Structure formats: C-alpha cells, structure tokens
Structure 1
C-alpha cells in the first residue's frame, strides 16, 4: 500500500498540471482552434505526463471539476430544447446500434490484428463507463495496464478530434440559442451548491458519473422551472475547460513511454474504427432528424460525458440533447459490460 503524498507535493503537482493545461489551452486559443482551452490543455498535459512530468488533480478538485461541468451544461441548455425530444427516439435507436458495432468490431480488430487476449480486447473496446470497465479488469479479466492506456487514448483523441473535425467536416458552430447574459454571483453560488449536493448524493448511490449527472440534472431542472437565468460567466467557463483538460491529460500519469508505445498502435487503430463507426451512424441518421450534424455526432460520440459536454458548450450545440444521449450510453453500457464479461469468461474456461 502506497503512503499518501505530502500536502506540499500535491499542491505543487496540481499547480504544474493547471499551468501546463492553461498554457496549452492559451496557445490553442492564439491560433483560433475550436474548443481551444479544452483541446489544447488536454494535449499539453498528456504530452507532459508521457515525458515524465508528475501531473495530477486531487480528488476534491476532480469532483469540483465534474460539478462545474454539469453546471455549465445545465446553464447552457436552451428553453426550447424540449421541442427536439420527439426526434430523440431515432438517434437513441442509432446509439444502440452504434454501441453494438463498436464493441463487436473494435474487440475483433484488437484480437485479430494486434493479438490481444479476449478480455483485454473487449474491455478496451467499450466506449465509456471507464470505472466500471476497470473494476471488471481488476477482478482478473484482461490486462489492466493495456486497457487503461487504450481507453485513455480514446478519450484524448476524441477530445482533439472533434474540434479539428469542426474545421473540415460539417460539424461547425451552431447558433442554437441566443447568447445569454452571465449569471451573477448571487445566482451562481446557490445553484452551484445545489449542484454539488446533488452530485454528492448520486455519487454515494454509486451512479456512474454521479457528480456530473447530479449537477447537470439540478441545473437543467432549475432552469426549466425558471429558478435562474443566464449562462456560466466566461472566465469560470474557461477555468472549467482548463480543469477538464488537466483531468483528461493527467490520466496518462504513471504510464511509461514503453507501455504507451506497446499499446498505442492498437489504441489508435481502435479509436479510429470507433470514430469511423460513430461518423457513419451519424451520417446515416442525419437525414431523418432536423439537427446540425455536429450536434448528432457529439451525442453519439463515444467520449467521456464531461469532455463531450464541454465540447458541446464550446461549439454552441444543444447540451440537453448531448447529455441525454451520453446518459443513455452509460445506462446501456451498465447492462452490456457485465454480460460481455461473463461471455468472455465462459469462452476462456477450459
């Protein structure tokens, strides 16, 4: 059992992580990349971690980041979002088909082309619910180090891929709602506290992504009920993006370059196939719903809820749609992961 780090070390590593994320985000903003603060920060911290820099976000700051993400997603929801619900069954059905294709084809690719054992291949192929996947792996299914590397590569590449895709694909910036005035401190404080309490309760109830979901649910319900108006203040939104970038990048902490190289090719190939499937499904479903391509893509994308939600805000899409589909993805995976894990074990038994 490792001893806890001294407080001074935690503070120093946290500050270094945030400075690197802010520098990467600031550089990306200077060259006018979409979602610059998030994408640039995540990439900068990931590179620093692989170069041996000790990066980290302490648990309390990670949880605060999740609360801020949920609050920002809820605050960004437009009042007319509910009018789009009638179109959601089409995209939710597409999401279910997409998950089956991703798990089946990516697992097959990692097994046949890269020689991974069945457990490692299929647990690496699950598009989300990372904590659940790793708990199954820790119980003796697959190689935990390779699984975490491949999964983290997926999250990082998707965070980078979407904003870059906005430059070349019909993802674009969508003016889905009029610009709202930022919330004042007298509104932000009570709404933020309510979001934190809801997130804490859901986390104690073992809900996946509890802090994000709890904060988002409270913010959306409060906004639809007319209890507050306005969006997140821009400086706080940028700070949230910097925190999320640091969180995504710091997942590479402790992964050596040799470990990364060993799993990177399979991780990149698996992520490329995943992105191709998500893009193909989005192209197939786009003619049947009246939504921007990029919004559908973000809703169906197999990235982390906090990352994809933040990208939705940065690119101006309907966060209610994106959040609903990512919550649905987590629920589907909650049932799919143990079923697939049991099938893997049955096939591996002599």
Structure 2
C-alpha cells in the first residue's frame, strides 16, 4: 500500500527538521558560535546535495519565520533607540556596499566566467531572489544559474559569519539570560499575535513579511511593556533549528551536477561580497560606537531570517540588524529594475551594431 502524499510530505519535513536539529546539536556541542544555526544549515545542505529528500512545506516554513521574528523582537535591546543617531553612517555604508557588490561581482561573472550580462548582474544582487526570478521571466538572464549562485551566497554567508567570530575581530557576545522566563499564557498570546501580523504582512506583499510581522509585534510588545521576561530556551532553539532548515533546504532543488557547474562562480561571487562587506563594515566601525561584528551582520548580504537569527545567537542588537536588511531589500526593489532596463538598452545597442 502506498504512503499518502500528505504523510510523505510530513515525514520529509520532520526528517529535514531532525537533520537540522542533529547538526545544530553537534555544532553546539563542539562549541561553535551560533552552533544550532551553523550546524543545522551545514547538515541540511549536505543532505540535500547528497540526494536526501529534503523538504520544508510552506506552512512549516512560515511557522519557522514566525519563530525567528518572535525571537528577534524578544531580543531587541532596550537601548536600541539610543543608537538611532548612528544609523545614518551605517546606512550610507550599506548603499556604498551594494553599489560595489553589484558592480564588481557583475563584472567578474561576466568577464571571468563568460556569463551573459543579464545572468551576471542579476546573480550579483545581494537579496530579493523572488523579485529577481520574476525579472528573468521577461527574458533577462538564466533563472536556474541565478538561483544556484544566489543559494551558494546565502549558505556560505551563514557559515562564514560564525567562522568570522573565531578568525576576525568581530566578537561574539552571548546574550545575557533573562531574569525570568515568560509564562505559557503570555507565550501563546504572543505567538498568535505574531502569526496574525506575519500573515497580514505577507498578504500585503511586504518583503520577508512573516518574519517582519512577527518581529514588529514582538518588539512593540516588549518595548511597550506587555512582557519583559525572556522566551523559553526551547523556543529560541526551535527558531535556530528552523533557520538552519530554511537555509539548508535551498539546496534541495539543486542537483549535484548543477551545483558543481555553478560552484566556482557562486563561491567567487560570495567571496567578493564577503570581502566588500568586511572592508565597508570596518570603515563604518571607525565612525560609530557599536561592535564591528554587529555592523558586519547588519550589512552582510544574506537572508533576513538567517542574519536575524545569527544576530540573536551572537548577541547583537536585532533591531539594528533587521532594519538594515529591510532597507537593503527596499533599495534593491528600485535598483533591480533599473539595472534590468540598463541591460536591455545595452543588448539593443549591441544588436544594432
């Protein structure tokens, strides 16, 4: 008797989460910074590339987003608003970083790897993958190649940040334990409110709506005095396991042959992005009074949910990290169509000559 498709989906989702949890446990046991996220992402990525039936259904994915957003809001530092006067400097650094990453990476992928300009430059944009793939439907770029290069970028950045805490002076500040843990009743009310807000943001097509909606409610609740106790540790661990699963499952739709064919360009593009982020974050750190690592994570061209979860694990100001990633997505919303239009003009000019 065949197994019902719904059961197959449930089992695959459970297996994916279990792999992430096992990898996270090993990473944490080894003492790796952000071990639950880093270990989970590596384990699920490797399993997917080796052919395991990795799957994270939309509902499970959205629940993971809610948990991550809830945890980000609950970890917002009370003095976050006092740092706002320093944000213009880091936001200026963000703009400079985006220009450098797109320009240099697009040029490198085009000239050094022979990709057409559409594929090269759309692969170079640090984020907004769904929007980018939408642009390819107009005949610009190779959607499959773009997905692979972008997936490599997100996965490598998630792994690179914790490694950087050991190799670079970006520091790791384990968050202090909350004096008390919130009651189950408070947690359930907060979860429901976060889920409703996330659903509303997603319906409004807000980028990363599930994460941002949940974070908005959680942040307002904390700063507004609705709660001041910490989340139960198991909830934070589940958020980290979900983040590892989300990041690693991106490789589930990529075959090993496809990965190998695009790996060199993907790793080179990621290396360029990491180098530029490291340099720009260092320059910004000379003018603001905040940890270099916090600036790095805020500017890092990774997924909002992944960088937000890393911000929690590394003890950084999650409001700063989330705000800079949201603004990056908004900037890309204008930059991507502009670059696509420019590429079209260049292609028309080349065809007429």
TM-score w.r.t. length of structure 2: 0.95
3-state DSSP of counterpart to 2:55:
coil
Q: After alignment, is 131-140 or 172-181 more displaced?
A: 172-181
Q: 1 CA distance for matches of 2:170 and 2:230?
A: 23
Q: 2 CA distance for matches of 1:79 and 1:21?
A: 31
Q: After alignment, is 338-347 or 280-289 more displaced?
A: 338-347
Q: CA deviation at 1:176?
A: 6.8
Q: CA deviation at 1:177?
A: 6.3
Aligned position for 2:49:
50
Aligned position for 2:306:
307
Aligned position for 1:124:
123
Indicate conservation of the 8 Å contact 1:94/1:285, yes or no. Answer: yes
Q: 2 CA distance for matches of 1:183 and 1:133?
A: 41
3-state DSSP of counterpart to 2:286:
helix
Q: 2 CA distance for matches of 1:320 and 1:127?
A: 20
Q: CA deviation at 1:174?
A: 2.5
Q: 2 CA distance for matches of 1:202 and 1:25?
A: 30
Q: CA deviation at 1:180?
A: 4.6
Q: Following superposition of structure 1 onto structure 2, how do residues 1-350 of structure 1 map, counting pairs within 5 Å?
A: 6-174=5-173, 179-349=178-348, 350=351
**CA shift digits 1:18-61 (9 cap, x unpaired):** 11111111111111000001111111111111111110111001
Indicate conservation of the 8 Å contact 2:127/2:301, yes or no. Answer: yes
Q: 2 CA distance for matches of 1:336 and 1:157?
A: 24
Q: 1:175 to 1:18 in 2, by over 3 A?
A: closer
Q: 1 CA distance for matches of 2:220 and 2:315?
A: 20
Q: 1 CA distance for matches of 2:305 and 2:68?
A: 6
Q: CA deviation at 1:329?
A: 0.5
Q: CA deviation at 1:178?
A: 6.5
Indicate conservation of the 8 Å contact 1:78/1:177, yes or no. Answer: no
Q: 1 CA distance for matches of 2:289 and 2:156?
A: 28
Number of matched pairs: 346
Runs of 5+ in structure 1 lacking a partner? none
**CA shift digits 1:230-287 (9 cap, x unpaired):** 2221111111111111111111113111110110000000000000000000111101
Runs of 4+ in 1 over 4 A off after TM superposition: 175-178
Q: CA deviation at 1:185?
A: 1.2
Cα root mean square deviation, aligned? 1.3
Runs of 5+ in structure 2 lacking a partner? none
Q: 1 CA distance for matches of 2:51 and 2:209?
A: 31
Indicate conservation of the 8 Å contact 1:72/1:231, yes or no. Answer: no
Indicate conservation of the 8 Å contact 2:175/2:312, yes or no. Answer: no
Q: CA deviation at 1:181?
A: 2.8
3-state DSSP of counterpart to 2:252:
coil
Q: 2 CA distance for matches of 1:175 and 1:53?
A: 34
Q: After alignment, is 311-320 or 217-226 more displaced?
A: 217-226
**CA shift digits 1:54-96 (9 cap, x unpaired):** 1011100101111111110000011111110110000001101
Q: 2 CA distance for matches of 1:177 and 1:89?
A: 28
Q: CA deviation at 1:228?
A: 1.3
Indicate conservation of the 8 Å contact 2:67/2:238, yes or no. Answer: no
